[in-house]
Amino acid sequence: MQLFVVMHHILGQLSTTISSLNTSLYSQPCLNLSNATIGQHTRHIIEMFQCLIAGYDHGRINYENRTRNKMIESDPAFASQLLQQLHSDLNKANKPLLLEANFHDESEDSISLDTNFYREVAYNIEHAIHHMALIKVGLLEISDLTLPTGFGVAPSTLKYNKACAQ
């Protein structure tokens, strides 16, 4: 399925990229990211996917209640292992889910929205690409690493750029 091909591709790009970073670069604050680190953005991507997996069996997802594991943001090898594990953990059938969220910072009341597993995979792909674009900005600031072609770029933008080049 196309959705999973794209997901595996972007998670593979991220895993390969962070595997090439030493711990110092991975956890170095980046001025262009408001002093966030590559590791913090990577942790955020991983934990959102993990939250989706954790909610799959009981049919409820709440991204706000995800864990925040500091080891993911400080150890690129550990983060890379988790990204590789996501490949198999996300290989699930589509099914209806409820998304629980609180979009108001001054309220404790959550709302529930109907969704499904594939829709949430699509959301997480777009979310990961967005954070990979930020990771790219940070890496350009702190390193001379060559990134994979299309790293942090939406597939629709890649298609558009190809069409313009012809």
Per-domain residue ranges for the chain?
2-165
CATH topology for 2-165? Answer: Four Helix Bundle (Hemerythrin (Met), subunit A) (1.20.120)
Tens digit of each residue's pLDDT (9 = 90 or more) over 38-71: 999 999 999 999 999 999 999 999 999 888 999 9
Tens digit of each residue's pLDDT (9 = 90 or more) over 113-125: 999 999 999 999 9
Strands 96-101 and 60-61: parallel
pTM: 0.92
Q: Which long-range contacts (CB under 8 A, 24 or more apart) does 52-56 make?
A: 52/90, 52/117, 52/120, 52/121, 52/124, 53/86, 53/89, 53/90, 53/92, 55/97, 56/92, 56/95, 56/97, 56/117
- Of the pLDDT bands very low, low, confident and very high (cuts 50, 70, 90), residue 107 is low
